[in-house]
Chain A
Amino acid sequence: MSISDDEVRKIAKLARLRLSDDEVARYGGQLTKILDAMAELGALETGNVPPTASVLGVSDVMRRDEPRAFEGRERLLDNAPDRDGPYFKVRKIIA
């Protein structure tokens, strides 16, 4: 199986990654090679095997929804490249 340049560009778009033409060519070849190495899984019969969701078999962990103090709020906001008071600033998305 071979991944075309167009497919690489489509995946990159889904992943929100800008790639150079060189990267597109390189990743196409490498993904093809990696996926070829994974083809061996196809030969294994797993029709009656459930997929692992949690290795511990844990699901739906609940706790009380109680507010707790968090000291790091200012630090979190300070990490943003652009902030405006208590807000993260983003580019305009409605023209």
Chain B
Amino acid sequence: MSQDLTTLSAARVADAVKKGEISAEAAAKAAFDRIERLEPTVRAFLAVTKDAALAQARAVDEKRKAGKPLGALAGVPVALKDNLQLAGVETTCASKILKGHIAAYDSTAVARLKAADAVFVGKTNLDEFAMGSSTENSAFQKTTNPWDSSRVPGGSSGGSAAAVAARFCAVALGSDTGGSIRQPAAFCGVVGLKPTYGTVSRYGLVAFASSLDQIGPFTRTVEDAALTLSVIGGHDPLDTTSAARPAPDVAAPPKDLKGLRIGLPLEYFIAGLDPEVERAVRAAVEMLESLGATVKDISLPHTKYAIASYYIVAPCEASSNLARFDGIRYGFVDRSASSLEEVYEFTRGSGFGAEVKRRIMLGTYALSSGYYDAYYAKAQRVRTLMARDFQKAFAEVDLIACPTTPTPPFRFGEKTDDPVAMYLSDVFTIPSNMAGNVSLSIPCGLSAKGLPLGVQLVADQFGDARLLAAARVFEAARPFPALQ
């Protein structure tokens, strides 16, 4: 094959490697050639693991030559958000407080990718501890949007989204607590899947907000998202919140969408929605209709409470989860401390960045004596109302279609001084985390300035395979160009 191997989908790479048409080593080398050329501009990676990747790729090729069966992602270059543990490699969460922390074990998702013969090209940049919507909160570097380097890639999994868009890899894993896969996928013109809560084990994912966190893939095709989910999904006894179900299979797409009922939530088409985003999403809905789906208006009346309730629940859980970073067991310690108390306070005060401290403060306040009922308990009750909104909607429709983000990708610095404005970029993605259902962002066009726009498709809990099958029909009818 003389073609550029970085243009191939994961499914195609795995197939070609299994048939011996290309070597895993050639696929890895093509990825690193591209990384070496473009990474100085994109800055998607916190660590590039070239030597280990080439060794891994050669081992896959040896396995094939020895006649052993290869896994579903044989030779596919994969990047990992740097809050996922890859044994022997640094896990920093883009935080100074974890600088130098070497993972002692593989997260379950990583172990399953390894068992499927994927090849790890590196660890990607993120907002510190996955808290943010632009990847500007990384303690180490800013990742640029591959479509326009003056703009953010979205966040918090901005490095993973940018890496897939820039064709540094065919698949990248991210984590999504309030939109951290889908929002950067929309901003970078790639597919981003947040599976149903509990579908992918969180073992080895550094916890941010445990009742909301879910691991999922970035890919350039829907088929690749389904393929990756079939590898990383499924019950894991090491995560007690993991659902007692097998991984969703890659379902063959139907030939059209006849009989599929799609709902458009009124509350998502509101003032403040960018007109270009609205036009692109409505055009995508018309396409779904022309493929045979029926479309009707629905209501998710508690959508307007999503941001307020999420920004109580998530910081409360974060303030508890991040209590473990104490200057004693992890990478960084502030050595000017003279007592144990000061070790905690100085290490955390200088090790965490501004947004992480802001959320720890917010969560600590909301959980402190006398405020619990007014904030955390209240927010969890509102969460029940949001989940009921979806239950009602899914009694009438099979899928919900809506914008992934209210605006196209924004510029660096545009929202960094105003936390509330930054929080609003998650307004359409948070409800799926609060209700634990599955949702996917898929590219649906470009703005007049050539910036990617995304449409979000949402299905009920454990409707992952059905959602992906429908999205494949849409994608086949409306292929989205990869970045050249």
Contact = CB atoms under 8 A, between A and B. Distances in A.
Contacts of A33: 419-420
A53 B380 contact: yes
Interface string B121-157: 0000000000000000000000000000000000000
Interface string B359-390: 01110110010000011011111111101000
B311 A11 contact: no
Interface string A7-49: 1100110111111000100010011011101101110101001
Given A18-B345, A33-B420, A79-B329, A38 B361 contact: no
B298 interface: no
A17 B104 contact: no
A46 B344 contact: no
Contacts of A78: 102
Given A34-B311, A81-B331, A11 B361 contact: yes
Interface string B321-362: 001001111111100011111111110111010000110111
Given A11-B368, A14-B368, A91-B339, A44 B387 contact: no
B243 interface: yes
B308 A15 contact: no
B381 A23 contact: no
Interface residues of B, number: 73
B213 to A, nearest CB: 12
B368 A18 contact: no
Contact of A41 (B211, B327, B368, B379): B379
A72 interface: yes
B40 interface: no
B197 A12 contact: no
Secondary structure of the B contact surface, majority rule: helix
B382 A55 contact: no
B243 A34 contact: no
A20 to B, nearest CB: 8
Interface string A63-78: 1000000111101101
Contacts of A82: 328, 333
Contact of B344 (A16, A37, A88): A16
Contacts of B319: 15
Contact of A93 (B103, B308, B340): B340
Given A37-B307, A50-B384, A51-B384, A80 B364 contact: no
A78 to B, nearest CB: 7
Given A11-B361, A14-B368, A61-B240, A91 B340 contact: yes
A42 B374 CA distance: 8
A38 B198 contact: no
Nearest to A80: B329
Contacts of A71: 105
Nearest to A3: B365
Contacts of A41: 305, 308-309, 312, 378-379, 382
B64 interface: no
Nearest to A28: B361
A93 B374 CA distance: 36
A56 B197 contact: yes
B303 interface: no
A82 B374 CA distance: 41
Contacts of A23: 357
A75 B105 CA distance: 9
Nearest to A91: B340
A18 B101 contact: no
B461 interface: yes
A19 B348 CA distance: 10
B299 interface: no
Contact of A55 (B103, B331, B435): B435
A78 B100 CA distance: 10
A46 B364 contact: no
Contacts of A80: 328-330
B212 to A, nearest CB: 8
B345 A16 contact: yes
Nearest to B462: A56
Nearest to B417: A30
A55 B105 contact: no
Given A44-B382, A51-B383, A17 B368 contact: no
B380 A51 contact: yes
B361 A27 contact: yes
Contact of B237 (A51, A63, A88): A63
B436 interface: yes
Given A15-B361, A79-B329, A81-B331, A56 B243 contact: yes
B361 A75 contact: no
A18 B347 CA distance: 8
Given A46-B378, A50-B381, A50-B384, A34 B362 contact: yes
A8 to B, nearest CB: 7
Contacts of B358: 27, 30-31
B241 interface: yes
B446 interface: no
9 contacts: A14-B364, A16-B344, A40-B305, A44-B302, A51-B384, A52-B387, A55-B197, A55-B461, A63-B237
Given A56-B461, A79-B331, 7 more contacts: A33-B419, A35-B362, A38-B308, A63-B237, A72-B105, A81-B333, A89-B328
Give the 3 A-B residue pairs with the shortest CB-CB distance, closest first: A55-B436, A72-B104, A18-B349
